[in-house]
Amino acid sequence: MAEARLRLLRHRPRVLVRLAAWSALEAGQTFLLGYALARAIDGGFLAHEPAHGLYWLAAAAVAVVLGAFGTGRVHRVVAALVEPVRDDLVRRVVDRALRDGDDAAVSRLTHQVEIARDTFAGLVLVSRTFVFTAAGALAGLFSLAPVLLLVVLPPLLAGLALFLATLRPLARRQETFLAADEAIATELGALVSGLRDITAAGAEDRVATGAAARIADEYRAARDLARWGTLRVLAVGIGGRLPVVLLLITAPLLLAHGVTAGALVGALAYLTQSLLPALQSLMQGLGTSGARLAVVLRRLTAEGVPEEPRAVRTGPGPGPGTGAGAGAGAGAGTAVRLRGVTFAYGPGAAPVVDGLDLAVPVGGHLVVAGPSGIGKSTLAALIAGVLRPDDGEVLLGAERVLVPQEAYIFTATVRENLGHLCPEPPPDAAVLASCAAVGAHGLVERLGGLDARVDPTALSAGERQLLALARAHAAPAPLVLLDEATCHLDPAAEARAERAFATRPGGTLIVVAHRIGSARRAGRVLVMDGTHTEYGTHEELLARSSFYRELTGAFAGFSHPALALGDSYGVDPVARPGLTGDGRHVVAHRAVGQMETVRDVADRGSLGSQ
């Protein structure tokens, strides 16, 4: 842990040198504040030499201007230190959330990372200010009269010692407070996702009681933290205000032993205008912000091997072409294996997937079918690792890539978009071969080739899907999940893309279907109906499952039905009324043959929508 923290706080030496240089300029102001005041009094006004006194006061004023200039430069240098720390923390939090499915990631990103950035900046500023201010003030006291240090140093050191003794308890209570804050974020996140079920079950009072308990825990942690914070007031009083009192009490004795009136006034200026404010800032920064920073960094930069989630285990799996060893996590020859997988959106919600067992062999082609909202996309997200099951195991024997319905294309060249999922930039020939395989070659040519710059807003939804499909095809991941990733393509283009993935050597394809043609092309079909699942070939399910026959009829009623009309992909390229299986859902109007559809898949009453 300590090594991780040191790596996080290690910065460029040049930046630290610049920080020290500008801080030294600022410390010069501190030194001249008391020294010039003492000289102005002793050698100027008390000696009836006002010009001499004004000279020293002018020197102090110039020092203030120079110190202000140094302070401005210090803030710029601190920004150069702080922002890289924030960026590094954000990367760590995101990596951890993607790897472990961290439920507290929202709190970490929106709250704790900002705490770390702000408190680190404040800690650098107050620590630097105290060190250089104390050095300037103590040097000034010594130059005025060394005996002054005997009055100032003991209480100053005693106050600092008391303050340092409270840091560890403060850090522990700060960690308790942050843990309570994370618990609230997790609790409320789960409640929001299950509000409909909570209301339907009449569980508002019970759920509100549980949430109130979490809030009460955070309140108690905050109150305990505040109690320890009061010791900081005592430490400031001992280290910052007691020296002033002692200096006034011992003033007659000091004057009797050769300390001048100007030196006493300068010493008071050092204490009240420099040391006391710097000490207060240091204790405020370290006592609250510093303890918080230590806790947050420990929580954000933990690099130990995380405990493996009970419900998810994945084998590393080889990339394409590795042959032996495929299916290391799911079993030899198996790309995906689900054992008793259960998942619900919230603790009180009904399971979307309930006790599912499934095995997909390497090279298999599975279609997941079912009404809208039944959990098909949820299942794809569970296999992809985007969601973690509440119970059971998801075992993967290979790397996987998920292509969602809403394809993401970023502003960059076509080559950068298509090679985004590859560890190393793929050869242009391989990228173009993937484009040709999924039917995106013509689009790439229209865009201007691989070096052309892509504007995502200028692409249609179907064009974005074609580029996303080509990107997934070019990726080394053997397992591809298409979650309605072809819904904006015509049936022929969809069939071509699916066939490209299904025929990749060693590749495994799982498709969340929205057309019956996908089910006909697949080796196996998994049908989800909300209460149980059915599994088999298209023909087997037609023979034994009335629900699948009903679902197939709904599929066929959708425009662009997949029919064996001579096309190499088994689809009719033109939708029109009167096609076989048309349930009067395809309505031609106007001369251009536009169409409108009733629904993607027929509603089944109480099943709801996703």
Q: Can you give 354-407 as a three-state secondary structure string?
A: EEEEEEEECCCEEEEECCCCCCHHHHHHHHHCCCCCCEEEEEECCCEEEECCCC
Q: Among 3-17, 424-438, 459-473, 490-504, which stretch is predicted with the lowest mean pLDDT?
A: 3-17
Q: pLDDT category, 8, cuts 50, 70, 90?
A: very low
What strands, in cross-sheet order, belong to the sheet with 391-396? 353-361, 334-343, 391-396
Query: Quick one: 295 and 371 in the same domain?
Result: no
State which amino acid sits at residue 147. V
Check whether 599 has a pLDDT greater than 60: no
Query: What's the CA gap between 578 and 181, in Å, rounded?
Result: 61
Q: pLDDT category, 331, cuts 50, 70, 90?
A: low
- For the ranges 35-39, 98-102, 452-456, the one whose mean pLDDT is highest: 452-456
Q: What is the largest CA-CA distance in the chain?
A: 116
Check whether 93 has a pLDDT greater than 70: no
**Domain finish residue from 281, 300, 319:** 300
The pLDDT assigned to 64 comes to: 80
Mean pLDDT of 314-329: 36
Q: pLDDT category, 224, cuts 50, 70, 90?
A: confident
The pLDDT assigned to 134 comes to: 86
Mean pLDDT of 489-505: 91
CATH number at residue 569: 3.40.50.300
Q: Among 90-99, 221-230, 409-418, which stretch is predicted with the lowest mean pLDDT?
A: 90-99
DSSP 8-state symbol, 316: -
Check whether 42 has a pLDDT greater than 90: no
The pLDDT assigned to 294 comes to: 63
The pLDDT assigned to 545 comes to: 85
Query: Quick one: 553 and 437 in the same domain?
Result: yes
The pLDDT assigned to 531 comes to: 64
Nearest-CA neighbor of 463 among 449, 482, 450, 444? Answer: 444
Check whether 337 has a pLDDT greater than 60: yes
Choose between 476 and 348: higher pLDDT.
476
Query: What's the CA gap between 489 and 443, in Å, rounded?
Result: 13
Residues in the chain: 610
Residue 351 lies in a domain: no
pLDDT in tens, 98-147: 655 555 555 556 666 666 666 777 777 777 888 888 888 888 889 899 99
Query: What's the CA gap between 198 and 582, in Å, rounded?
Result: 41
- For the ranges 26-40, 397-411, 576-590, the one whose mean pLDDT is highest: 397-411
CATH number at residue 39: 1.20.1560.10
Task: Write out the DSSP string of 441-483.
Answer: HHHHHHHTSTTSEE-GGGS-HHHHHHHHHHHHHHSS-SEEEEE
Check whether 279 has a pLDDT greater than 50: yes
The pLDDT assigned to 577 comes to: 43
Q: pLDDT category, 307, cuts 50, 70, 90?
A: very low
Query: Quick one: 386 and 503 in the same domain?
Result: yes
Residue 522 lies in a domain: yes
Q: Which residues contact 416 (CB under 8 A, 6 or more apart)?
A: none
The pLDDT assigned to 593 comes to: 35
Check whether 466 has a pLDDT greater than 90: yes
Query: What's the CA gap between 312 and 394, in Å, rounded?
Result: 5
Check whether 426 has a pLDDT greater than 60: yes
Q: How far is CA 139 from CA 34, 132, 202, 275, 296, in A?
A: 10, 10, 71, 12, 36
End-to-end CA distance of the chain: 42
* Parent domain of 178: 2-300
The pLDDT assigned to 317 comes to: 36
Query: Quick one: 407 and 537 in the same domain?
Result: yes
Query: What's the CA gap between 327 and 325, in Å, rounded?
Result: 6
Check whether 296 has a pLDDT greater than 90: no
Mean pLDDT of 201-224: 84
Give the count of alpha carbons within 13 A of 351, CB side only. Answer: 17
Query: Quick one: 563 and 492 in the same domain?
Result: yes
Total number of domains in the chain: 2
The pLDDT assigned to 468 comes to: 93
Give the count of alpha carbons within 13 A of 545, CB side only. Answer: 25
Check whether 569 has a pLDDT greater than 80: no
The pLDDT assigned to 68 comes to: 79
pLDDT in tens, 150-188: 999 999 999 888 888 887 787 777 778 877 887 887 777
Q: Among 162-171, 352-361, 402-411, which stretch is predicted with the lowest mean pLDDT?
A: 162-171
Residue 334 lies in a domain: no
| 535, burial (CB in 10 Å: exposed 0-12, middle 13-18, buried 19+) | middle
Query: Quick one: 273 and 368 in the same domain?
Result: no
Check whether 509 has a pLDDT greater than 90: yes
Check whether 245 has a pLDDT greater than 50: yes
Residue 537 lies in a domain: yes
Residue 310 lies in a domain: no
Query: Quick one: 285 and 387 in the same domain?
Result: no
Residue 306 lies in a domain: no
Q: What are phi and psi of 568, to 5 degrees?
A: -65, -20
Choose between 532 and 421: higher pLDDT.
421
Residue 101 lies in a domain: yes
Query: What's the CA gap between 272 and 248, in Å, rounded?
Result: 12
Query: Quick one: 257 and 388 in the same domain?
Result: no
Nearest-CA neighbor of 407 among 458, 468, 332, 463? Answer: 468
Choose between 530 and 597: higher pLDDT.
530
The pLDDT assigned to 330 comes to: 56
**Domain finish residue from 300, 317, 336:** 300
**Contact assessment for residue 364 and residue 509, using Cβ atoms and an 8 Å cutoff:** yes
Query: Quick one: 260 and 371 in the same domain?
Result: no
Give the whole-number percent of the chain exceeding pLDDT 90: 19
Check whether 277 has a pLDDT greater than 80: yes
The pLDDT assigned to 449 comes to: 92
Choose between 400 and 87: higher pLDDT.
400
**Domain finish residue from 300, 316, 340:** 300
Query: Quick one: 367 and 275 in the same domain?
Result: no
Distance from chain centroid for Cα 163: 34
The pLDDT assigned to 429 comes to: 93
Q: pLDDT category, 480, cuts 50, 70, 90?
A: very high
Query: Quick one: 20 and 133 in the same domain?
Result: yes
Mean pLDDT of 475-491: 90
Give the count of alpha carbons within 13 A of 468, CB side only. Answer: 29
Residue 335 lies in a domain: no
Q: Tokens for 213?
A: 């308990």
The pLDDT assigned to 464 comes to: 92
The pLDDT assigned to 445 comes to: 93
**Contact assessment for residue 484 and residue 377, using Cβ atoms and an 8 Å cutoff:** yes
Query: Quick one: 14 and 103 in the same domain?
Result: yes
Q: pLDDT category, 446, cuts 50, 70, 90?
A: very high
